[in-house]
Structure 1
């Protein structure tokens, strides 16, 4: 973990600060595949693909379930296959699951993955190029490639890097297996995970991410997502599409460039936020000086949008002026959040996020979020930090078809009713 107090160090620290989102059930879409989401060695080639189906090798889906607002993508790992549910996260790269033996690990309802029972499991040696893909590699006495991967709130996974067969399912319910997928076999996992979460599915930009490994098989390094708003009926799915056919096209599409990370961390999807308009009042990102390129990270693993203190304070003041109700001021458990006593979204303002080349309009359903633990209370789905940049969280991403194209280096947005499938 980076120790420098820069904005990019901040991103590394909080990329999993709040995990609420993403997960999947995959259906065919051209040469890629589509994932329905419920709230929460040498380069890879087609030689890595085993299948019993005679259909297009990318016609795949994965079962999905939701739990307390989290979106868990179910994968089958190993031979024979074992079902694993992990948080799909665009803010990190490493895909990992808890493995036996697991010393001091958080409690899980489902059994841990046992690598000794899989005929396709193989540890990665610490003196191979595969191990060099990890920035935090370690070498065990047995010459196994070990790792320590840290997230926010002191969440940490420690284990060994391995290769395994990952099995998805075709539209005809036949197995589609991908050989040699790199993943972390976690033997010491602690922090803010709940008992339904068996690990993380890393969808960042780095070389070990699940996306980077699947890209060559699916027609390109690109994917798109359409997230249903928070607290939508759990029976209504979100959607995640990978590879060729996942492009965001048509009327109403706006596009902003990705900004390369100035550090060695290649994970984050960085874009530039120039300012925010509250109805007719424009708030520049900074009141003085030049706005830094890549000042916001788009992260599906973080629910609230996080802004620098100054911009957040100016935004809250403008929002208060346009909501007729009195905010809650006598509940210490809410901290400094802007909250109201109501069961519905207030008749509040729209917010327009002005990214470079792309204006994104958010309505109250994307801005004000009902509190699960406090019935009858809604809060602004935006918070603050002391860094110079921030995070565009998944509350704000809902009801937009958002495309991440790593080949064109752009992020595209199209307003969409994601509850309509």
Structure 2
């Protein structure tokens, strides 16, 4: 989910995959100064509670990944969008002047003994980007964030304890965490969601804040595909021990761009089967890796070339007369075995099967999970990231990929 710098495109609210993934801090293991958590995929239908507190979301059309943690003291459960495309952690807070509906109560700062306001002259306030920073009449540090899908949050910056819980009763309290207490919010969210957990490169993101305590600013995740069983677990790890290593690992440099704290990498081209399509771009950092966006977006001309080549290699007639698919490349089928698409990043070739490049738009209709964007850079969405163990290492400035059957990736690392 990309924050506006200015407005960019984030379309995770589309009717894309029929799933929501729950990243549940319910099984935690501290390893070499870092820690790992199990990720649980949840189907969009009503199923029994996972462990003792988690309820399956009911919406089937958001294509997001959800991270569970707790705010305040005593801890209050929180479910937020896991988002490598932004850097603010925020939740809906009382008084909620204009908030989107959520099933659980809004966070009440008055009920948390560790809640602390941040004032405009304090260092924490200066970590906000100047274009989103505000100052209230009471000299409290305010913010106003908006995202490419028209979601937004406005509120006050604050400090409080963020707690990670284990099913065995153990907890990891993270004190004095900076977050946004949102009093005026708009979002295309399921009513289980309460906000967004920014995992980007900015100073206020979760990884930037906890990195010094857990062995460095690094983390990895392995996202299961949407067709997995209800309780298929996988792993998200933070700090030491989260490095992606071993046979089959490929890495590409992270490119730093001033005032834009995204995970930029360089895409050289894409192959459809054995046919290579060059992006014809000399620009470094022309793709953003974003877990808050479902589809992958490419510059218009290159996207059109890719679609034309996919049409040549899929031995089916595409749907061209159904307006509900909005001009997308779709096929009436429940299974595709080809084509194999390879994204060629600088130093890293990532092979994608149809389960990572097509989504089920409706029963027995599969649509191509690549869209076009009017800018000269693209967005690498979360569907293409499934079944890869992906490690972001901000200390070494690389992102690493390892093909992994994520729904069988059970062991904590």
Q: Deviation per CA, 1:49-75, whole angstroms, max 9, x where unpaired?
A: xxxxxxxxxxxx997665334332221
Identify which of 392, 395, 404 aligns with 1:404: 392
* Partner Cα separation in structure 2 for residue 335 and residue 239 of structure 1: 35
- State how 1:366-381 maps to structure 2 within 5 Å: 366-371=356-361, 374-381=362-369
Does the 8 Å contact 2:12/2:295 carry over to 1? Answer: no
Identify which of 54, 71, 79 aligns with 2:73: 79
Tell me the residue number matched to 2:23.
23
* Partner Cα separation in structure 2 for residue 309 and residue 118 of structure 1: 49
Tell me the residue number matched to 2:119.
125
The Cα of 1:23 is off from its aligned counterpart by 2.2
The Cα of 1:13 is off from its aligned counterpart by 2.1
* Partner Cα separation in structure 2 for residue 71 and residue 285 of structure 1: 29
Tell me the residue number matched to 1:45.
none
Q: Deviation per CA, 1:79-117, whole angstroms, max 9, x where unpaired?
A: 111111111111111000000111121111111011011
Tell me the residue number matched to 1:325.
316
Q: Deviation per CA, 1:17-38, whole angstroms, max 9, x where unpaired?
A: 5486662334215221112223
Tell me the residue number matched to 2:337.
347
Q: 1:36/1:195 Cα in 2 relative to 1: closer, same or farther (>3 Å)?
A: same
Does the 8 Å contact 2:64/2:292 carry over to 1? Answer: no
- State how 1:3-402 maps to structure 2 within 5 Å: 9=5, 13-15=8-10, 17-18=12-13, 23-25=23-25, 26-30=27-31, 31-39=33-41, 67=57, 68=60, 69-135=63-129, 136-170=132-166, 172-261=168-257, 263-265=258-260, 267-286=261-280, 290-344=281-335, 346-371=336-361, 374-402=362-390
Q: 1:222/1:317 Cα in 2 relative to 1: closer, same or farther (>3 Å)?
A: same
- Please state which structure has a larger fraction of its residues in strand: 2
Q: Give the 3-state SS of the residue equivalent to 1:317 in structure 2.
A: helix
- In structure 1, runs of 5+ residues without a counterpart are 41-60
* Partner Cα separation in structure 2 for residue 354 and residue 335 of structure 1: 28
* Partner Cα separation in structure 2 for residue 63 and residue 311 of structure 1: 45
TM-score normalized by the length of structure 2: 0.89
Q: 1:363/1:194 Cα in 2 relative to 1: closer, same or farther (>3 Å)?
A: same
Q: Give the 3-state SS of the residue equivalent to 1:106 in structure 2.
A: coil
Q: What is the count of residue pairs matched by the alignment?
A: 387
Does the 8 Å contact 1:218/1:243 carry over to 2? Answer: yes
Q: Which runs of 4+ in 1 moved over 4 A?
A: 15-22, 61-66
Q: Deviation per CA, 1:198-228, whole angstroms, max 9, x where unpaired?
A: 0111100110001111111111110111111
Q: Deviation per CA, 1:332-387, whole angstroms, max 9, x where unpaired?
A: 1211211111122x13210111100111111111111112xx22211111111111
* Partner Cα separation in structure 1 for residue 22 and residue 321 of structure 2: 33
Q: Give the 3-state SS of the residue equivalent to 1:395 in structure 2.
A: helix
Tell me the residue number matched to 2:46.
none
Does the 8 Å contact 1:39/1:70 carry over to 2? Answer: no
The Cα of 1:39 is off from its aligned counterpart by 4.3
Q: 1:65/1:420 Cα in 2 relative to 1: closer, same or farther (>3 Å)?
A: farther
* Partner Cα separation in structure 1 for residue 54 and residue 237 of structure 2: 14
* Partner Cα separation in structure 1 for residue 338 and residue 73 of structure 2: 53
Q: Give the 3-state SS of the residue equivalent to 1:130 in structure 2.
A: helix
Q: Deviation per CA, 1:157-188, whole angstroms, max 9, x where unpaired?
A: 00000000111124642222111000000000
